[in-house]
A and B are shown apart, each in its own frame.
Chain A
Amino acid sequence: MLRILIKSRLDALLYAYFHPRNKKKKSAYNAKMSGTGQIIMLCLLFAYVFWALMQMFYEVFLIMCRPLLENGMGWFYFSFGGVMAFGFGVICSLLMVHKQLYDARDNDLLLSMPVKPRDILVSRLVMLWVQTFAFEMMILLPLGFAYMHEMGTTVSGVILFIVTSLLFPLLTFVFTCPVGWVLQLLSTHAKRKTFMTTLFSIIFLILYMYFIMRLNSIVTLVTTDSRTFAPVFKRAAYPLYFYGKALAGQSISDFLIFALFVIVPFLLIFLLLCRSFIRLATMKKTGARIRYRQKRMEPKQLMRALMDRELLHFTSSSMYMLNGAMGLLFLVILPVVMIFRMDAVKAFAAQMPGLEIWLLASAGISLISAMNIISAPSVSLEGKNLWIIRSMPVSEKKILLAKAAAHITVCTPPVLFASAVTAVLFRTSFPQTIFLILLPLLSNVMTGLVGVVVNLQFPRFDWISETAAVKQSMSTFVSMLVSVIGAVLPYLLYLFLFSGAVEPELFAVIVLFYLAGLDYWCYHYLCTKGAAKFSQLS
């Protein structure tokens, strides 16, 4: 039974990432080819992301490795890497643990079958182990490779490294399983859940970005002052002290202590989960009941009603807001940071003498604005509800334009804010200020329209969770890529090819026409072919 459950979870995992879309609309051959193409593309993308992250961490560990080993602090090198892997594993797997252990949609179905709750739990944990292991290896592998590069290695060292790495996700579970349970309690009882989730995620993200940006200086500080930090690490992350000692000294006794520190708490948590799994999995969501009071119901215009529908969908989901509009956060934060770090901005601008600073700012704002993908999953998000809008007396053109309009409405204020702050900071002339406002605005309009255009090419209605439509869809990926290229390409061409030949203001006028042309093309497409395509969707 356990094998069947594990296989079904594995199938679900592979399906989520590699299931080819729109299979039934194409011939069998085309579907197979496009499916294979998508899988190859996704594999290449994953490989690139893994490689890029591992390369970054490898450089970091190379800085640390030799000085620490020369100081006889080999254990601290591995402990520090272990703490990073643990933190990375927690970040990447916490929501997965919550979703897959406590909030899985098939819990009721499986519990109604003659399956032991323990088997359900083990099958889930095995899949979580696989995913957490993959995330943590992005740090642990560079940690090991950097050590090998500096010190060489032995067979026993490699075996010890592999065994400790296999145990590592269990250490993460000791933290994430109880925290996931707390999240489940909060999500079943909390008021303003969307707001709270979004707020905490943003705070978490800012802290994470702060850490990543300061990673080099933290590593340098920890390496140069390792005698001060090592005891702190030893006290705060005691199991990882033995992890470090085991790997640095290739000590079996330290490995056994580390293994005990990992396995015993994990088993305790596992037993606790086994005992309470049915209660946790069937916990009824009892959010505060809202009392209905009849109010005046003001009618809205058709377009307004359609746009409000899109906005309500967007603001009701923290996942949609966080993934679809992360650029907005940067559009608000970066201008404020610029106020305090003008010297750094000017130094950065000096590296690109071909672009005047107001053009550079315009390119930057357009680039960040292009990272917002609110409209990119909006067609797919109709999902099972597509029948509602399709059975109503609304033209397809209006439905699609409302989706783009919602994107533009949400993104315009932060874009204007960023442009206005930049204009004030750099004391741009009147024409430059107009360009600084208009160019990012037109680029923002393009992003909104492109999102809908692209989503019409890659609609996906077979999702179970909206996360699949927003985060794991071809539409959002392609849409962001097209928008970023569309927004930044003219500036790059100007910087590398035409900066000496064309006056900046004339270039701005050309970009203005280019963006207006793109916007019009997208608008025209949505009104004609796009509307026809939408009417074919079912």
Chain B
Amino acid sequence: MLRIEHLTKSYGDKKAVDDLSLHILPGELYAFIGHNGAGKTTTIKCCCGILQFEAGDIFVDGMSVREKPLACKQVMAYLPDNPDLYEFMSGVRYLNFVADIYQIPREAREERIARYADMFDITADLAQPVGDYSHGMKQKLALISALIHEPKLLIMDEPFVGLDPTASYQMKQVMREMCSRGSSIFFSTHVLEVAEKLCDKVAIIKNGRLVVSGSMEEVKGQESLEDVFLELEGNHAENPD
């Protein structure tokens, strides 16, 4: 569903992502972890067509993000770490705008907005301007907008930040349901326990380079994901090269 091949992206002289390759199959829940500034957000933004990159390629559902960006964006959705939404719109207007862009028919959008708004408990607030929303409510709204066109691939950057425990639980349920229907989810997180319990596969990135990737069992073995991650970070401290 998502194939990243030798992705390289630089900011000036600094390589934010360096020759990174990953392959996410349909139905997989894939965690992407790394320290602050490791290159997670840059990788994610390249996958979503928000950032352009110098080398390598990214394929979504078999289509190159470089060559067919619109077709790729049509089948995927992106949820950023900080959901800055249109504060001049009401919640429902924002969802309708997203539905218009994805050309979702009336009945389908009405049903999905009602279902997800109820699920995340923001139905009563849908008429309020987004500017009046709390961080958590914006996160929920952004999540609904990402789900509204039933994407084949959902890419999220720190999706659990700001969510209350109930919403967090609901979100994990939605993620599992999506994957059981054959959609793929690729998300970055610092909450290693969530990644460990929820995901089929994991990739660890350090200083823009992929350190390890594979199934959760392969990567962590008998240890916890936290131990593996800290061990890799520790190696880095001992051997800066």
Chain A residues within 8 Å of B, Cβ to Cβ? 24, 285, 287, 289-294, 296-302, 304-306, 308-309, 312-313, 316-317, 383-385, 387-388, 390-395, 535-536, 538
When the two chains form their complex, are residues A294 and B100 in contact, meaning their CB atoms are under 8 A apart?
no
When the two chains form their complex, are residues B84 and A289 in contact, meaning their CB atoms are under 8 A apart?
no
A287, A302, A306, A538: which contacts B103 (Cβ < 8 A)? A302
B92 (CB) vs chain A CBs: closest residue: A292
CB-defined contacts of A309 to chain B, threshold 8 Å: 86, 89, 97
Complex Cα distance, B201 from A380, in Å, reads 39
A25 (CB) vs chain B CBs: closest residue: B12
**In the complex, chain B residues 110-151 whose Cβ is within 8 Å of any chain A Cβ:** 110, 113-114, 123-128, 132
CB-defined contacts of A388 to chain B, threshold 8 Å: 85-86
Interface string of B73-115 (1 = CB under 8 A from A): 1100110101011101111110011111111111001100110
When the two chains form their complex, are residues B51 and A305 in contact, meaning their CB atoms are under 8 A apart?
no
Known: A299-B100, A394-B70. A387 touches B78 (CB 8 A): yes
Q: Write the nearest CB–CB distance from B11 to chain A, whole angstroms.
A: 8
CB-defined contacts of B211 to chain A, threshold 8 Å: none
Q: Tell me if A's interface is mostly helix, strand, loop or mixed.
A: loop
CB-defined contacts of B51 to chain A, threshold 8 Å: 538
Q: Which 6 A-B pairs have the closest CB atoms?
A: A305-B100, A316-B88, A292-B127, A384-B84, A393-B73, A290-B127
Complex Cα distance, B90 from A290, in Å, reads 10
When the two chains form their complex, are residues A297 and B50 in contact, meaning their CB atoms are under 8 A apart?
no
Q: Which of A305, A308, A383, A392 has the most CB of B within 10 A?
A: A392
- CB of B49 closer than 8 Å to a CB of A: yes
Complex Cα distance, B73 from A535, in Å, reads 14
Known: A391-B48, A391-B73. A312 touches B89 (CB 8 A): yes
- CB of B71 closer than 8 Å to a CB of A: yes
Q: Write the nearest CB–CB distance from A305 to chain B, whole angstroms.
A: 4
CB-defined contacts of A296 to chain B, threshold 8 Å: 106, 110
Complex Cα distance, B171 from A523, in Å, reads 44
When the two chains form their complex, are residues B127 and A299 in contact, meaning their CB atoms are under 8 A apart?
no
Known: A391-B73, A393-B70. A294 touches B114 (CB 8 A): yes
- CB of B207 closer than 8 Å to a CB of A: no
Complex Cα distance, B77 from A287, in Å, reads 33
Q: Which of A306, A308, A309, A536 has the most CB of B within 10 A?
A: A309
Complex Cα distance, B145 from A387, in Å, reads 13
When the two chains form their complex, are residues A299 and B104 in contact, meaning their CB atoms are under 8 A apart?
yes
When the two chains form their complex, are residues B113 and A393 in contact, meaning their CB atoms are under 8 A apart?
no
Known: A309-B97, A387-B78, A391-B73. A299 touches B105 (CB 8 A): yes
- CB of B52 closer than 8 Å to a CB of A: yes
CB-defined contacts of B127 to chain A, threshold 8 Å: 290-293
Chain B, interface residues (CB within 8 Å), range: 35 or more
Q: Write the nearest CB–CB distance from A438 to chain B, whole angstroms.
A: 33
CB-defined contacts of A289 to chain B, threshold 8 Å: 128
Complex Cα distance, B183 from A171, in Å, reads 67
Q: Write the nearest CB–CB distance from B187 to chain A, whole angstroms.
A: 15
Complex Cα distance, B88 from A383, in Å, reads 13
B95 (CB) vs chain A CBs: closest residue: A297
CB-defined contacts of A24 to chain B, threshold 8 Å: 12
Known: A299-B100, A387-B50. A292 touches B125 (CB 8 A): yes
When the two chains form their complex, are residues B109 and A313 in contact, meaning their CB atoms are under 8 A apart?
no
When the two chains form their complex, are residues B109 and A299 in contact, meaning their CB atoms are under 8 A apart?
yes
CB-defined contacts of B104 to chain A, threshold 8 Å: 299
When the two chains form their complex, are residues A297 and B89 in contact, meaning their CB atoms are under 8 A apart?
no
When the two chains form their complex, are residues A392 and B73 in contact, meaning their CB atoms are under 8 A apart?
yes
When the two chains form their complex, are residues A299 and B52 in contact, meaning their CB atoms are under 8 A apart?
no
Complex Cα distance, B73 from A387, in Å, reads 12
CB-defined contacts of B91 to chain A, threshold 8 Å: 292
Chain B residues within 8 Å of A, Cβ to Cβ? 12, 45, 48-52, 70-71, 73-74, 77-78, 80, 82, 84-86, 88-93, 96-106, 109-110, 113-114, 123-128, 132
CB-defined contacts of A390 to chain B, threshold 8 Å: 48-50
CB-defined contacts of A387 to chain B, threshold 8 Å: 45, 50, 78, 80, 84
A292, A297, A385: which contacts B96 (Cβ < 8 A)? A297
When the two chains form their complex, are residues A395 and B106 in contact, meaning their CB atoms are under 8 A apart?
no
Known: A312-B93, A388-B86. A393 touches B106 (CB 8 A): no
CB-defined contacts of A393 to chain B, threshold 8 Å: 70-71, 73-74, 101-102
CB-defined contacts of A290 to chain B, threshold 8 Å: 90, 127-128
Complex Cα distance, B241 from A534, in Å, reads 38
Complex Cα distance, B55 from A133, in Å, reads 56
When the two chains form their complex, are residues A299 and B128 in contact, meaning their CB atoms are under 8 A apart?
no
A and B contact pairs by CB, cutoff 8 A, 21 listed: A285-B132, A289-B128, A291-B124, A296-B110, A297-B99, A297-B106, A299-B100, A299-B103, A301-B100, A302-B101, A309-B97, A312-B88, A383-B84, A384-B82, A387-B50, A387-B78, A390-B49, A391-B48, A391-B50, A391-B73, A392-B101
Complex Cα distance, B91 from A266, in Å, reads 44
Complex Cα distance, B49 from A392, in Å, reads 9
Complex Cα distance, B52 from A536, in Å, reads 7
Q: Write the nearest CB–CB distance from B112 to chain A, whole angstroms.
A: 10
B102, B109, B123, B132: which contacts A297 (Cβ < 8 A)? B109
Complex Cα distance, B201 from A29, in Å, reads 46
Known: A290-B90, A387-B50, A387-B84. 4 other contacts (CB 8 A): A297-B113, A301-B100, A309-B89, A395-B70
CB-defined contacts of B101 to chain A, threshold 8 Å: 302, 305-306, 392-394
When the two chains form their complex, are residues A298 and B50 in contact, meaning their CB atoms are under 8 A apart?
no
CB-defined contacts of A385 to chain B, threshold 8 Å: 84-86
Q: Write the nearest CB–CB distance from B157 to chain A, whole angstroms.
A: 10
CB-defined contacts of B105 to chain A, threshold 8 Å: 299
Complex Cα distance, B13 from A24, in Å, reads 12
Complex Cα distance, B114 from A26, in Å, reads 48
CB-defined contacts of B100 to chain A, threshold 8 Å: 299-302, 304-305
CB-defined contacts of A538 to chain B, threshold 8 Å: 45, 50-51
A300 (CB) vs chain B CBs: closest residue: B100
Q: Write the nearest CB–CB distance from A320 to chain B, whole angstroms.
A: 9
When the two chains form their complex, are residues B52 and A535 in contact, meaning their CB atoms are under 8 A apart?
yes
CB-defined contacts of A317 to chain B, threshold 8 Å: 88
Q: Write the nearest CB–CB distance from B69 to chain A, whole angstroms.
A: 8
Q: Write the nearest CB–CB distance from B48 to chain A, whole angstroms.
A: 5
Complex Cα distance, B193 from A117, in Å, reads 43
When the two chains form their complex, are residues A294 and B110 in contact, meaning their CB atoms are under 8 A apart?
yes
B51 (CB) vs chain A CBs: closest residue: A538
Complex Cα distance, B84 from A384, in Å, reads 6
Q: Write the nearest CB–CB distance from A191 to chain B, whole angstroms.
A: 12
Q: Write the nearest CB–CB distance from B138 to chain A, whole angstroms.
A: 11
Q: Write the nearest CB–CB distance from B34 to chain A, whole angstroms.
A: 20
Complex Cα distance, B151 from A153, in Å, reads 79
Complex Cα distance, B102 from A391, in Å, reads 12
Q: Write the nearest CB–CB distance from A105 to chain B, whole angstroms.
A: 13
Complex Cα distance, B97 from A306, in Å, reads 8
